[in-house]
């Protein structure tokens, strides 16, 4: 039996693996893809840390709490901001090639909602460089990583998580892994918005849905961050670093209309409104000059050329807001343990109570490392103190036959429909009627799910099967998202209700989805 089973090999999973291994515990990591393909590698703009002399953890904390609109936990935010400094120093020591100032110190750029330049970066490949460095470290430590293993269900015994049942995508067989503690690091659920999201297409809530099915509480699921600048045609992200370095937003009349570096919820709403008024919004970085763009924003330039057919050095870049980050997730305590004993969660799949209603750019990469290390250490301590008493049994299931058959109807069209509904009715602006329509749509789709299935009957590398499982997971979390959005009868941060545009004191609380019901909890007390 492994001490710690980690599901997910993005920045959060790999940080947790390194910290757990350092305690002497045995660690096994599984991932449905390959570590180098985790969404973390798409992060461009930077990772926050108050390194500069004009900055301090207190300023970082103030900015984070302000963006969070009153529902982040100051204690959790304080630890993120204070421990963030050592987290970035550690990344530097283990080899992340951060861009440098002339004096050799790590260079930092401004991102929205930050009062000083705080985001450390590696050109605009920050997540890629961090992920590859962490993966190198895991390989050097000989941490066992099993690729192409899809988490199906958690094994919970007497209220305690003791392992997982997994589909081996290569063979089509199910495998059972027991462990003394389990860490979920499976990423968020931006995939709900399909082509209207900047996310990797396989960001599909798998860990959140598995935890929820096992009885875990979910937190703040209604808060979905829309990034202001994705390419108009493809939703591919153009990082905030483009505005951080001095880029402008202009409307169809080439006029600036908003503070480009306000928090993301405000900028996204301003763009959304401007798109409705003038019909087009562009990012303008031409004045930064070709040499600077090539040096500081090379990836942004390549992406704009490739996916929009424009060169930002000489042309305006058409943009629109797109779903980008899911602030909510599995509820965890200060040790990153979920409401299920022995089950830890970290990274975008968890709600560490630091983002509240709106995440500050650069704070997600930071949370992966700070809380990833914390999850690894705490899961190891838990494993050291708790023997595995559960009797083990192999769970062999022919899941292929469950989803194939001549009577099964396809799901791809429904998946697309779900994302359309979410973008329109559970998007940047929401109101009761649209949310109610979305809920009815989700309930109807859930009822149809048993009749849906796949055509491909091959066991080996059945990607249709994997995509169907992902669709089921998205559909599972769709309900808590809409229910929480309906229950929160106010506007706050990324959750903007056109029918209730003001924030209300009674909702200055986290929403908790448990046993099909949404509760509001403040300082641990039900409201
Ligand atoms: C385009 C883009 C740019 C961004 N830029 C920034 C930035 O500049 N700064 C910043 O702070 N944040 C940024 N973010 C946000 C940040 O990148 C993510 O929040 C963060 O990387 C999530 O990391 P994670 O480790 O939690 O999950 P991920 O990196 O998504 O990794 C999830 C892991 O879980 C595995 N997994 C998922 N489901 C299963 C399953 N069923 N079975 C087995 N394994 C599974 C996946 O294979 C993967 O290994 C950006 C996000 C995007 C999309």
Beta-ladder partners of 343: 182
The pick from 18, 38, 463 for probing ligand 1's pocket by mutation, whose C-beta has the most ligand atoms within 8 angstroms, reads 38
- Is the pLDDT at 115 greater than 80? The verdict is yes
Mean pLDDT value of segment 128-139: 98
**Is the CB of 125 inside a 6 Å radius of any atom of ligand 1?**
no
φ/ψ bin of 142: left (φ > 0), alpha (ψ from -120 to 50), beta (otherwise): left
Q: CA–CA distance from 66 to each of 73, 77, 114, 259 (Å)?
A: 12, 11, 10, 16
- Quick one: residue 24, left, alpha or beta (phi over 0 = left, psi -120 to 50 = alpha)? left
> Is 325 touching ligand 1 by the criterion CB < 6 Å?
yes
Atom of ligand 1 nearest to the CA of 240: 8
Tell me the per-residue pLDDT of 337-394, one tens digit each, with 9 for 90 and over: 999 999 999 999 999 999 999 999 999 999 999 999 999 999 999 999 999 888 877 7
Considering only residues 262 and 146, tell me which one the structure prediction assigns the higher pLDDT. Answer: 146
pLDDT at 526 over 80: no
What is the reported pLDDT for 390? 83
> 134 and 15 in contact (C-beta within 8 Å)?
yes
Which residue has the least CA distance to atom 14 on ligand 1?
43
**Average pLDDT estimate for 112-123:** 95
Model confidence at 309: pLDDT above 80 = yes
pLDDT digits over 157-180, tens only?
Answer: 999 999 999 999 999 999 999 999
What pLDDT, on the 0 to 100 scale, is given for residue 389? 83
Q: What pLDDT was estimated at residue 437?
A: 98
Could you report the per-residue pLDDT of 418-445, keeping only the tens digit for each? 999 999 999 999 999 999 999 999 999 9
pLDDT at residue 397 greater than cutoff 80: no
Which helix (DSSP H) or strand (DSSP E) does residue 145 occupy? strand 144-146
Q: Residue 316 above 80 pLDDT?
A: yes
Tell me the whole-structure pTM to 2 decimals: 0.97
pLDDT at 433: 98
- DSSP character for 526? E
- pLDDT tens for each residue of 176-220: 999 999 999 999 999 999 999 999 999 999 999 999 999 999 999
The predicted structure's pLDDT at residue 360: 94
Sign of the alpha-carbon torsion through 512, 212, 127, 182: positive
Pick the residue whose CA is nearest to atom 18 on ligand 1.
40
With a 6 Å cutoff on the Cβ, whether 371 touches ligand 1 is no
pLDDT higher than threshold 90 for residue 523 = no
Buried b (16+ CB within 10 A) or exposed e, 113-138: bbeebbbbbbbbbbbbbbbbbbbebb
Q: Tens of pLDDT along 464-510?
A: 999 999 999 999 999 999 999 999 999 999 999 999 999 999 999 99
Of the pLDDT bands very low, low, confident and very high (cuts 50, 70, 90), residue 58 is very high
Q: What pLDDT shows up at residue 524?
A: 72
| 124 in contact with ligand 1, CB cutoff 6 A | no
> Catalytic residue positions?
227, 243
Residue 199 Cβ contacting ligand 1 at under 6 Å:
yes
Q: What integer pLDDT is reported at residue 391 of this predicted model? A: 80
β-pair partners for 220 = none
Pocket test for ligand 1, best of 14, 31, 43 (most atoms within 8 A of CB): 43
Is the pLDDT score of 133 beyond 90?
Answer: yes
Q: Give the residue-averaged pLDDT of 499-523.
A: 95
Distance (angstroms) between ligand 1 centre and the Cα of 189 equals 10
For the Cβ of 32 lying below 6 angstroms from any atom of ligand 1, the answer is: yes
Mean pLDDT of the chain: 96
Q: In what order do the strands lie in the sheet with 108-109?
A: 47-48, 119-120, 108-109
461: pLDDT strictly greater than 90: yes
pLDDT of residue 518: 95
Q: How far is the CA of 38 from the centre of ligand 1 (A)?
A: 6
The mean-pLDDT minimum among 118-127, 220-229, 465-474, 518-527 falls in: 518-527
Q: Could you count the other beta carbons within 10 Å of the beta carbon of residue 314? A: 9
């Amino acid at each position: 039996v492994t001490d710690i089973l980690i599901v997910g090999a993005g920045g959060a999973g790999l940080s947790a693996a390194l910290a757990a291994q350092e305690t002497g515990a045995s660690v096994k990591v599984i991932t449905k893809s390959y570590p180098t393909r985790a969404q973390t590698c798409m992060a461009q703009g930077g990772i926050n840390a108050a390194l500069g002399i004009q900055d301090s953890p207190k300023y970082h904390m103030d900015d984070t709490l302000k963006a969070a609109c009153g529902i982040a936990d100051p204690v959790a935010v304080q630890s993120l901001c204070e421990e963030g400094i050592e987290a970035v120093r550690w990344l530097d020591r283990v080899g992340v090639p951060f861009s440098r100032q002339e004096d050799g110190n790590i260079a930092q750029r401004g991102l929205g909602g930050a009062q000083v330049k705080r985001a450390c970066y590696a050109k605009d490949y920050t997540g890629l460089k961090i992920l590859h460095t962490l993966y190198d470290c895991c390989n050097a430590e000989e941490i066992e990583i099993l690729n192409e293993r899809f988490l199906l269900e958690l094994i919970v015994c007497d209220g305690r998580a003791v392992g997982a049942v997994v589909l081996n995508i290569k063979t089509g067989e199910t495998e059972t892994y027991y462990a003394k503690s389990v860490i979920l690091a499976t990423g968020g659920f931006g995939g709900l918005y399909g082509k209207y999201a900047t996310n990797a297409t396989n960001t599909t809530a798998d860990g959140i849905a598995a935890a929820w099915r096992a009885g875990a509480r979910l937190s703040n699921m209604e808060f979905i961050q829309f990034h202001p600048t994705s390419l108009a045609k493809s939703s591919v992200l153009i990082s905030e670093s483009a505005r951080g370095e001095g880029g402008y937003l202009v409307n169809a009349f080439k006029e600036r209309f908003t503070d480009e570096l306000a928090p993301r919820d405000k900028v996204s709403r301003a763009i959304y409104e401007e798109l409705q008024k003038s019909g087009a919004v562009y990012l303008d970085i031409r004045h930064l000059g070709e040499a600077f763009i090539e040096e500081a924003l090379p990836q942004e330039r390549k992406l704009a050329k490739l996916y929009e057919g424009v060169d930002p050095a000489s042309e305006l870049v058409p943009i629109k807001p797109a779903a980008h980050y899911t602030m909510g997730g599995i509820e965890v305590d200060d040790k990153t343990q979920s409401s299920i004993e022995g089950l830890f969660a970290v990274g975008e799949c968890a709600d560490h109570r630091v983002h509240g209603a709106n995440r500050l750019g650069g704070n997600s990469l930071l949370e992966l490392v700070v809380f990833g290390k914390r999850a690894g250490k705490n899961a190891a301590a838990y494993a050291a103190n708790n023997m595995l008493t559960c009797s083990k049994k192999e769970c062999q299931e022919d899941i292929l036959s469950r989803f194939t058959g001549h009577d099964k109807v396809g799901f791809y069209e429904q998946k697309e429909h779900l994302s359309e509904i979410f973008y329109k009715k559970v998007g940047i602006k929401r109101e009761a009627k649209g949310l109610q329509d979305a809920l009815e749509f989700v309930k109807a789709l859930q009822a149809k799910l048993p009749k849906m299935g796949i055509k491909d009957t091959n066991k080996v590398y059945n990607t249709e099967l994997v995509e169907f499982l992902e669709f089921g997971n998205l559909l599972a979390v769709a309900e808590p998202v809409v229910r929480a959005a309906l229950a929160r009868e106010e506007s706050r941060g990324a959750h903007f209700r056109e029918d209730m545009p003001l924030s209300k004191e009674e909702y200055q609380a986290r929403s908790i989805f448990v046993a099909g019901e949404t509760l509001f909890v403040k300082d641990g007390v039900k409201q």
